[in-house]
């Protein structure tokens, strides 16, 4: 499982002109599911993301996590995170999970984050989405499960 996390001051996702999810301070999480991912990857990745200490404390140091700043997460599925561009000019997506597996693990990731006390908004799985954000910092990180 691969997650691109962007610390944001605001983010939203729109589908067919309707906002399906929006947050203020927190994380925009672009989530890719690999064909070998399992529930163990979901649990590990959600725990890692929820515990990331990348918000500034009173001393200006990145020392606080989402819960400590009352932050939220906007989770957007993105199979293109598993696009392999090493050969040719057209990415190969063979490592990405098939839609039924990816949907199940994506929904499980959202549920796991919520179970950890994170307020979560989402896009719509497999929809053509427009994502807007204000990256705070900018801070952008990649979290990848160790293939548990």
Measured between alpha carbons, how far is 139 from 77 in angstroms, rounded to an integer?
Answer: 20
* Size of the chain in residues: 148
Say which of 36, 39, 68, 80 is annotated catalytic.
Answer: 80
Say which of 45, 78, 109, 122 is annotated catalytic.
Answer: 78
Rounded (5°) CA angle 48-115-104: 80
Cα pseudo-dihedral 132, 107, 49, 78, rounded to 10: -50
Does 130 qualify as catalytic in the annotation? Answer: no
Does 80 qualify as catalytic in the annotation? Answer: yes
Measured between alpha carbons, how far is 131 from 22 in angstroms, rounded to an integer?
Answer: 10
Say which of 55, 79, 109, 122 is annotated catalytic.
Answer: 79
Among 30, 27, 22, which Cα is nearest to 121's? 22
Does 10 qualify as catalytic in the annotation? Answer: no
Helix (H) or strand (E) holding 108: helix 99-115
Which residues are catalytically annotated? 78-80
């Amino acid at each position: 499982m691969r997650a691109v996390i962007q610390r944001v001051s605001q983010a939203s996702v729109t589908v067919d002109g309707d906002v399906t999810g929006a947050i203020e301070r927190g994380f925009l999480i672009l989530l890719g599911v690999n064909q070998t991912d399992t529930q163990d990857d979901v649990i590990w990745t959600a725990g890692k993301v929820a515990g990331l200490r990348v918000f500034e404390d009173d001393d200006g140091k990145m020392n606080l996590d989402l819960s400590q700043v009352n932050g939220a997460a906007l989770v957007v599925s993105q199979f293109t995170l598993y696009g392999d561009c090493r050969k040719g000019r057209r990415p190969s997506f063979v490592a990405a999970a098939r839609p039924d597996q990816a949907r199940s693990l994506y929904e499980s990731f959202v549920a796991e984050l919520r179970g950890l006390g994170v307020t979560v908004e989402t896009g719509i799985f497999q929809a053509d989405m427009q994502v807007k954000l204000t990256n705070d910092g900018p801070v952008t990180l990649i979290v990848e499960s160790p293939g548990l």
